[in-house]
Amino acid sequence: MKDFRKVLSALRVDGKKKVRLGKFATDSRDGIDGKKAARAALDDNTRALAELQRKLYAEAKTAVLVVFQALDTGGKDRVIRNVFGPINPQGVRVTSFKRPTAVELAHDYLWRIHMATPAKGMIGVFNRSHYEDVLVHRVHKLVPAKVLEERYRQLNAFERHLAENNTVIVKFFLHISRNEQKARLQSRLDDPDKRWKFEMGDLTERKFWDQYQEAYQAILDKCSTGAAPWYVIPSDRKWYRDWAVSTILRAVLEKINPKYPSEIEGLDDVVID
């Protein structure tokens, strides 16, 4: 079996050569020995992440921003539950970006995003993000090509600013196949407990499948930087997706290497009455 570190680092878009989204698998099993091993590794990652989060919070020096993007049914909700669920909720803040409100639309499109960025010590999780503004807008040609090009640059500048100010950024594109989306939409229709998730609009957007692939390819091409890299996660298999995301995230946190601030002045002589 291939070394998992090599497998996962191959999912990282390096921002050098032209991205061909079609070359990235949606159904990989590489780097881990099947579902059972992946679930065990996820549990192990969870324990490690919980401890790393405690230290990140205690140290309060670095913020972590985790961005999730995907087509409908790509698994954003579930991967957030499975990877971040077991971590102390006080240190994790999930923001789901929905259709912008009137007040939000009256500001520049990064206004609401900036307000939701994590504080030092916190892990901020974005379910959808600032990348929506170069997705729908591109697919449905809501803004001229020139504005789109400006936005890619603005997104990079914004992320660079965050990175230069103590925020570590990692971005995940959950990559599924057209057939897998069909199966998942069908299961939302068939399962009474999932019907509330079904939206007619999802079917409309599904007709633009190729355009969305192209729009994601442009994002990966233009907005994967050293400061804020994209990972393309094969997500047809849920257990593979969860394992890959948690393993990459663990590596990101381990690189930050947060520590409890134990060397605090003047505590050695304290007496408590």
Which residues form the interface with its own copies (CB under 8 A)?
58-59, 77, 80-81, 84-90, 92-94, 96, 125, 127, 182, 185-186, 189, 192-198, 200, 203, 206-207, 260-262, 264, 266-267, 270, 272-273
Distances, alpha carbon 102 to alpha carbons 98, 106, 147, 254, in Å:
12, 6, 21, 40
Instruction: Please identify, using beta-carbon distances, which residue of 145 and 264 lies nearer to its own copies.
Output: 264
Q: Classify each residue of 18-43 as buried b or exposed e, where b means 16 or more C-beta atoms within 10 Å of its C-beta.
A: ebebeebbbebbbbbeeeeebeebbe
* Smallest gap from residue 259 Cβ to its own copies (A): 10
Quote the tokens at residue 168. 């570590």
Residue 181 CB: number of other CB atoms within 10 A? 20
Instruction: Please identify, using beta-carbon distances, which residue of 149 and 191 lies nearer to its own copies.
Output: 191
100, 241 Cβ separation under 8 angstroms: no
Contacts of 9 (CB under 8 A, 6+ apart): none
Distances, alpha carbon 172 to alpha carbons 36, 74, 101, 102, in Å:
23, 11, 25, 28
Instruction: Please identify, using beta-carbon distances, which residue of 25 and 116 lies nearer to its own copies.
Output: 116
DSSP 3-state assignment of 174? strand
21, 210 Cβ separation under 8 angstroms: no
* Smallest gap from residue 183 Cβ to its own copies (A): 9
Residue 80 CB: number of other CB atoms within 10 A? 19
230, 220 Cβ separation under 8 angstroms: yes
Instruction: Please identify, using beta-carbon distances, which residue of 3 and 262 lies nearer to its own copies.
Output: 262
Instruction: Please identify, using beta-carbon distances, which residue of 89 and 144 lies nearer to its own copies.
Output: 89
Instruction: Please identify, using beta-carbon distances, which residue of 28 and 129 lies nearer to its own copies.
Output: 129
Instruction: Please identify, using beta-carbon distances, which residue of 111 and 260 lies nearer to its own copies.
Output: 260
Query: In 85-144, which ranges are continuous DSSP H helix?
Result: 102-105, 111-115, 136-139
* Smallest gap from residue 238 Cβ to its own copies (A): 15
